[in-house]
Structure 1
Amino acid sequence: MAFQTPKSIEEMLTSIHKHEYLMPAIQREFVWGPQQIIRLVDSLMRGYPVGSFLLWEVQPQTAQSYTFYEFLTHFHERDNPYAGKATVPAGAGTVAVLDGQQRLTSLNIALYGSFAEKKKYAWWSSPDAFPVKRLYLNIANDPQDEELGLRYDLQFFTDKEAAPNEGEPHVWFRVGAVLDLANSGPAIMHELDSRGIANSTSAFQRLYDLYEAVRVLKPMNYFLVTDQDPDKVLEIFVRVNSGGTPLSYSDLLLSMATNQWKDLDAREEVRSLVSEINTNAGRQFAFTKDLVLKSALAIAGVDLRFKVSNFTQANMAAVEAVWPATRSALLRAATLLQQFGYNERNLTASSVIIPLAYYLHRRGVGDGYLDATKHAPDRLAVHGWVTRSLIKRGVWGSGLDTLLTRIREVLSVHAAGGFPVAEVEAAMASAGKALSFEASEIDELLNLKYGGQRTFSVLSVLYPGLDLSKQFHEDHIFPRSRFTRKKLAAVGVPPDKIEHFIDLCDLLPNLQLLAGTANVEKQDMLPAEWISSAFPTPQRAQTYVNDNDLAELPEGITEFDAFFDLRKSKLRDRLTKALGVPNRIGATVSTPYPLRVASE
């Protein structure tokens, strides 16, 4: 291993775009975010060292035994999150990057590419959820937020966001455009003049600093490994990747599987399956490759833990052998969760899919299990167990591998006749993850809020008759829009109750699950008014009222607190029965009252 002559960023990236530098399959995926990229560029512009790089000179005879990947240029979290596979011509060697892939990919994106990540709260399927952004430098001003510790104002913007308003100077300079400047003198002056920022010494300095950092200075120090022994190279790789963003064992598993699978490309298989279970067939989940890999270990019957000692050739052969079964089981499990009404927003513990997939595999069921009438009781049992496990705090947290292993042991013995709820819950209890509930937990659940992590699961337990395969929304019975101080005062709510009403608005007793279309139609109507208009007969309306514990529904909002207390009592009774909690001494089950609506 020898130290090499340093290179500039431009020289290093040019080698990447000439396909002279590639990534070995043992490299992890790109994991840096926009702020890490910005800090890297800021450091380089300030002349700070950014660490050395480690490259591996792969001889032709060695190169043919390994899989290599190109560097990612245009990152898109949904459509293009992974680097593409590279082709090394027969008889040719290459240079593989062992350490520095995250930094080099970041610089490649900053100068040549773009970054598109999902907007917060946007749906994965939305065409506007992933705005394509490129890195821009503010050449007119320094950062406004001093706490960020940045000297230069660097931001990822869409081109539209970076464009100036009419009549204003064009202050945002696309970082990659520095490669188009002919020199660091007159060319910069001309650029500033064209942007309406001429005669600005500070603007010139900022653009000059960028030019120097990318094209003149040589901060890219690197060592070159020439050894062709793959075991030694792997040892070096693991050691040098112990810093920075830690290399997870799942990354190593996937990397080693890539080279050890005989007939399938592990990386491509895992990537495509992650994409398929998350977005195909109307599904909207956020399962990760880690979860897919752990599911594969579970179904293969090997140790579930991500340990180096598990990355044996025999274990990888077992995982590859059951991969088609793993794929089918995970796809069915994801569809089943979708039918239970879950998506990326309300599935609070992704790990629940692992025992579900293992059960479907062990049971040997096909797609017919998902909708056949004869399997309805079993699906109901599975649904109940899944929901209870998501409602109970701490089930899918610490000690996950132990829990999954014990559930797998039970399912491997008892799955043939249907989902063995009692046996599974006994195994969970032995791992300290009992699904029993206390009365105090019921009180806590009744105080869950709109949009909370467990709110959907609790509502689905309260009202099990709903067909959750259709789209249901968490809905405020008394519309949220009515709970402003001004509106409450206007309808006659006493001043001393207004804050109390607002506090109660988002809590569980004022929530229900409502079909998407009905929720849109309801909008901000008061519940009594909406029920009168939404159902064709009084009998249908009364059934809806009884099924949803809406007895004694007031016509207006002034009696909301009384309605809230009454419904809270009814929900407590329902949850107590649904979750198997003995009734408190003296507690009684309320009897539904006739509906009173405005039209009557």
Structure 2
Amino acid sequence: MSISDNDDFYAERQEIESEIQELIGEHPEIENSDSLILNAQRNFEDLYRAVHKDEKLHFFTEDENDITRVRDVFVRINQGGVTPNRAEILLSLMTSSWQQEPPEINARDEVHSMVDELNGIIDGGNAPFATKHVQKVLLAINGNEIQYRFDNYTLDLLRNLKEIWLSDTFPNTMEQLAELLNSYYPTVTYILSPALYTPIAYYLYQNENPSLDSTSIKGRGRRRDILYYICAARLNGFTSQSSNQIAELVRDVIREEESSEFPLERISDEVASSYGTSLRFTEEKLTTLFEELQYGKRDIEFLLQLSHYPDEPARGKDYDIDHIIPKSVLPEEADADRVGNLQLLIDKTNKMKSDDDFEDWMNSRTDDYKQTHHIPEGAKEMTFEEFVDAREQLIMEHILENQPF
């Protein structure tokens, strides 16, 4: 209800009085109707005054310029109400702190601007990056806990984050991270779990943004190792409730690495020792994934990507998940969404394929295509179940044989 002046207010009050009287008339068991109306009038007037007349401001007076006190007061007054946005709290503290000493920086404007630039790199008009992703990379680089913890937000921490921000390396790291994730097939949003993107960003920063050029031997090797890490970590549960802690452990392993290579094997061993999972696959693990994953599940993208590893998707190409044997030609009881009936196809090729007859499509494909997509020998003579089982076996063998360590 919008009330602009007293005339509107009293007109609205008369309407409310009339409605209250009608309600009372519908409930004869209610007595003392005059008293009820009077109470309603008073409540309405109180509401009007609270919204439009009273000027109330809650504040605390602090004699010391202490960002820690500001943090504590902010957290304390919010404890009884809505849980504050942790990224917003840190951003507010960064904004206040970064303007206290030269060079003065408006952290809020700067971080929001970087987020916009990162999202501008991502294809498809998506905007997966947010303030929290930039902040967690800053925290990772500084060596802090990646999980938001108010007790950590000291003036020294905020100064360190500012120093990292002002370095030439940090903005280049974030840009390189966005470009790298955008070049892979899995949806960027699904990669933005702390255990996945923060160690990668830390690796890039630690090594002063090394070459990721796919035409160079070292660049291609780094791209492949990072791609394997993303897919294997996602499929092996690194993005669970312990995601922040795993991210910190992986960050520490990378920090101790003497070479400029991404230390996949050491990461796998350390995470296995602390959390009981690793970057390695077993036949049992893959069998479970084949049973759990199907068309429409998020993690299917990571599994299908591994079915082509160490090859990467062609850069600049859009990919779709395609049903090899179209659902339209299968009986309802057939499980058309199984892993063994799914493949990654370039969007244009997928549209050309459409609902073509399976045998006609196979006859038109090259031997290289059939090998790349793990099409079993004699596929045209197989039943659907035989085809899917045989293809899943080929995919499993490929993943097991191409593990990088």
Where on the TM-score scale, by shorter chain, does this alignment land: which range? 0.7 to 0.9
Q: Contact 1:425/1:434 (CA < 8 Å) preserved in 2? A: yes
Distance in 2 of aligned mates of 1:562 and 1:401: 42
| TM-score in terms of structure 2 length | 0.77
Do residues 286 (structure 1) and 131 (structure 2) align? no
Query: 1:69: which partner in 2?
Result: none
Do residues 397 (structure 1) and 223 (structure 2) align? no
Q: 2:191 is paired with a residue of what secondary structure?
A: coil
Q: Which moved more, 1:338-347 or 1:456-465?
A: 338-347
Higher helix share: 2
Q: Contact 1:348/1:454 (CA < 8 Å) preserved in 2? A: no
Distance in 2 of aligned mates of 1:296 and 1:564: 45
* Percent identity between the two aligned chains: 22
Query: 2:94: which partner in 1?
Result: 257
Q: 2:281 is paired with a residue of what secondary structure?
A: coil
Query: 1:430: which partner in 2?
Result: 273
Distance in 2 of aligned mates of 1:213 and 1:567: 70
Post-superposition offset of 1:336: 1.0
Distance in 2 of aligned mates of 1:246 and 1:505: 44
Find the partner of 1:530 among 357, 361, 380.
Answer: 361
Post-superposition offset of 1:452: 0.9
Query: 1:183: which partner in 2?
Result: 8
1:385 corresponds to which letter in structure 2?
Y
Q: Contact 1:475/1:511 (CA < 8 Å) preserved in 2? A: yes
Q: Contact 2:121/2:178 (CA < 8 Å) preserved in 1? A: no
Higher strand share: 1
Find the partner of 2:287 among 438, 443, 448.
Answer: 443
Do residues 467 (structure 1) and 313 (structure 2) align? yes
Q: 1:475 is paired with a residue of what secondary structure?
A: strand
Query: 2:81: which partner in 1?
Result: 244
Distance 1:529 1:428, change over 3 A: same
Query: 1:274: which partner in 2?
Result: 115
Q: 2:322 is paired with a residue of what secondary structure?
A: strand
1:553 corresponds to which letter in structure 2?
A
Distance 1:413 1:351, change over 3 A: closer
Q: Report the count of equivalent residues.
A: 361
Post-superposition offset of 1:223: 5.3
Do residues 554 (structure 1) and 400 (structure 2) align? no
Post-superposition offset of 1:252: 2.8
Distance 1:223 1:381, change over 3 A: closer
Distance in 2 of aligned mates of 1:415 and 1:472: 37
Distance in 1 of aligned mates of 2:266 and 2:208: 19
Say what the alpha-carbon RMSD is for the aligned residues: 3.4
Distance in 1 of aligned mates of 2:227 and 2:321: 19
Distance 1:179 1:523, change over 3 A: farther
Distance in 2 of aligned mates of 1:259 and 1:186: 46
Distance in 1 of aligned mates of 2:46 and 2:97: 41
2:136 corresponds to which letter in structure 1?
K
Where do residues 155-234 of structure 1 align in structure 2 (5 Å cutoff)?
Answer: 183=8, 217-220=48-51, 222=56, 224-225=58-59, 227=61, 229=63
| TM-score in terms of structure 1 length | 0.54
Q: Contact 1:358/1:408 (CA < 8 Å) preserved in 2? A: yes
Distance in 1 of aligned mates of 2:136 and 2:107: 14
Distance 1:228 1:414, change over 3 A: closer
Q: Contact 2:122/2:182 (CA < 8 Å) preserved in 1? A: no
Q: Contact 2:203/2:262 (CA < 8 Å) preserved in 1? A: yes
Do residues 314 (structure 1) and 156 (structure 2) align? yes
Distance in 2 of aligned mates of 1:361 and 1:369: 13
Q: Contact 2:199/2:251 (CA < 8 Å) preserved in 1? A: yes
2:320 corresponds to which letter in structure 1?
H
2:300 corresponds to which letter in structure 1?
T
Find the partner of 1:516 among 338, 347, 355.
Answer: 347
- Structure 1: tracts of 5 or more residues without a match: 1-174, 190-200, 203-208, 489-497, 536-540, 582-600
- Structure 2: tracts of 5 or more residues without a match: 15-21, 24-39
Where do residues 24-63 of structure 1 align in structure 2 (5 Å cutoff)?
Answer: none
Q: Contact 1:346/1:456 (CA < 8 Å) preserved in 2? A: no
